[in-house]
Amino acid sequence: MISSGIAAPPEKMMFQLSLRRRGVSDRGVLQAMEAVPRDRFVDPIHRPNAWRDTALPIPCGQTLSQPFVIAYMTEQLQIQPKHRVLEIGTGSGYHAAVLSRLASSVVSVERFRTLANAARTRLRELNYANVEVLLADGLALPDGQGTFDRILVTVAAPELPQSLLDLLDPDGLLIAPIGPANGRQTLIRVHRKGDDFVRKPLVDVRFVAALPGVAREL
């Protein structure tokens, strides 16, 4: 951890300690989690709990995942500074901000216009200039996005669509929760080796379900 000469608030110190105790050890991930102001990505009423290891509600019936889950998923992606990252499910924009401190660029996709617009504004105000937020169906992206070194999916689907796997570069990694909307989901890591996709189950998780299309009203 790089010291700025200013003592960290107690809640941020406990935030870091909690992540370390639960097994997050990648220094880059820990620094990124510390640097991104999590309290700026939730409504004011939830800011007192922003640094606790708990999920928080955001608009459109979505959630900001608990810090450990975000840190764990990010660590499993093994992001390098040269990487181009795709995130499916922008939400508040917090996870995109964390990814942006580790990668060259981040394309984050959100189906809710309200969330996409708010995240875009928030990321711009906080100067995360290497994040692009798209309003689109994350599981059926429009053509022209190119391919990615790393893909992070933050919504659950029964199966991973081949169209998304095809966006993964050779030797790329993808992390996604797979399983039913109201049942047990498993976080899996997919490693692309040539034309083969090697899957490894990681941990059980619970995410909101992936929905098709772009939301009409929100």
Is residue 201 within 8 A of residue 175, CB to CB? The reply is no
Is residue 113 within 8 A of residue 135, CB to CB? The reply is yes
Structure token digits, residue 5: 């000469």
Structure token digits, residue 153: 């999916």
Alpha-carbon gap, residue 21 to 72, rounded angstroms: 12
Strands across the sheet with 131-135, in order?
A: 131-135, 105-110, 84-88, 148-153, 168-178, 185-193, 196-205
Alpha-carbon gap, residue 201 to 193, rounded angstroms: 17
What residues contact 14, with CB distance under 8 A and at least 6 apart? 51
Active-site annotation holder among 3, 4, 25, 65: 65
Is residue 133 within 8 A of residue 119, CB to CB? The reply is yes
Alpha-carbon gap, residue 46 to 181, rounded angstroms: 25
**DSSP secondary-structure letter at 46?**
G
State yes or no: is 100 an active-site residue.
no
Alpha-carbon gap, residue 193 to 90, rounded angstroms: 27
**DSSP secondary-structure letter at 56?**
E
Which residues are the active-site residues? 65
